[in-house]
Amino acid sequence: MGFLDEASDLLGKGMNAAKDMVTEGAVVAKGAVAGMAVEQRPFMKAFVRMCSDGWAQGWNERNGGNASYRMTVEEATACKPYFYDTPSSWVPLKTAVPQLGGAFFACTAAGSFMRNLAGDVAGNMGIVELSEAGDSWRVVWGFKDGGRPTSELEAHLACHRVRMEVTYGVSRVVYHAHPAHTVALSLLLPATPRALSRALWCAMTECAMVFPEGVGAVDVMVPGGEALAQATAREAERHGAVVWAAHGLLVTGATFDEAFGLMHTIEKAAQICLLARAADGGSARFDTQVSDDILRAIAASVGKTLDESLL
Ligand code: 2HA
Ligand code: ZN
């Protein structure tokens, strides 16, 4: 006989103790369902898979990297019954994002290891609600045991704001990681959109199709800082991906597949670029060169236009 069966059987016999058991059983059951319901949602499964894949790729060592997702109204409504009865108190943002006021974001926890996310979702990530004014956040689900959102929350929100605007609401995912070849390329080349975009486009022709707008770039900055957040947001106005010099890469996308695929493509192109340079003794004067006209034609072949200012 299961626990609840046993409890109702006792209740049937009119025993007060059984009422306590049923009450307790209901609370236990609600707690168990609360975790399941949110964790089983397709957006949460896709979130966790992206992070686990990033770990498997070697992009998210230790607590490196972070991810966030702007939930749809429907997703937030479906999850609400499982939110904490008492959310955390409001925490002010350094830079308000009124355009995102009232939105809910799933995001990784500060200091959490992506390696551990799949094994304990509510312990390594959670959901925050933004105030209607978009000037503060509070925890409504997850971040168990006193956890809090990623140290790069301000950078994520600043990017969500910009990407939501420039994609007319389509962009929902922001993912930051430390892919080694991209970081190595950021050491080798000047931290400018032109230098990095050209190197990546010319390393692998697919790049001109996947990110014809090129990649943005910010110089070496303090991780988790306000300056990094604002510089990234400025770059995100024109680029879906931003290289953080000597640090990592931030990508955005409408879906987890898009964001992950963008990072994968950039990282692979960076690897090819470095392999070719290393094999050639460090030069970039290869026998095969990719011309600007070919790059334009590649983008045009999928109905896209290359950012001419980067050629
Ligand atoms: O440690 O990657 O940028 C998390 C980070 C900060
Ligand atoms: Zn980082």
Running along the chain, 311 residues long, what does each successive block of 10 average in pLDDT?
38 33 33 66 98 98 98 96 96 97 98 98 98 98 95 96 98 98 98 98 97 98 96 98 98 98 98 96 90 97 96 94
Domain that includes residue 259, residue range: 173-310
In this structure, how many other beta carbons lie within 10 angstroms of the beta carbon of residue 283? 9
Ligand 1 atom closest to 150 (CA): 4
pLDDT at residue 260 in the model? 99
What does the DSSP 8-state code read for residue 89?
Answer: P
Question: Which residue bears the tokens 């904490």?
Answer: 84
- Give every CB contact of residue 133 below 8 A, 6+ residues apart in sequence: 96, 98, 101
Q: Is the CB of 154 under 6 A from ligand 1?
A: no
Indicate whether 188 and 283 sit together in one domain. yes
State in Å: Cα 117 to ligand 2 middle: 17
Indicate whether 178 and 289 sit together in one domain. yes
CATH of the domain at 276: 3.40.225.10
Cβ(99)–Cβ(126) under 8 Å? no
Q: Which helix (H) or strand (E) holds 91?
A: strand 91-92
Q: Is the CB of 64 under 6 A from ligand 1?
A: yes
pLDDT at residue 36 in the model? 54
Ligand 1 atom closest to 63 (CA): 1
pLDDT at residue 106 in the model? 98
Look at the alpha carbons of 57, 113, 178, 263 in this order and tell me if their dihedral is positive or negative: positive
Clarify whether 132 is annotated catalytic: no
pLDDT at residue 4 in the model? 38
State in Å: Cα 288 to ligand 1 middle: 37
Rg (CA), the chain: 23
Catalytic hit among 39, 75, 129, 152: 152
pLDDT at residue 233 in the model? 97
Confirm whether 250 is domain-assigned: yes
CA distance 69 to 55: 18
| Residue of 245, 239, 240 lying closest to 185 (CA atoms) | 245
pLDDT at residue 285 in the model? 87
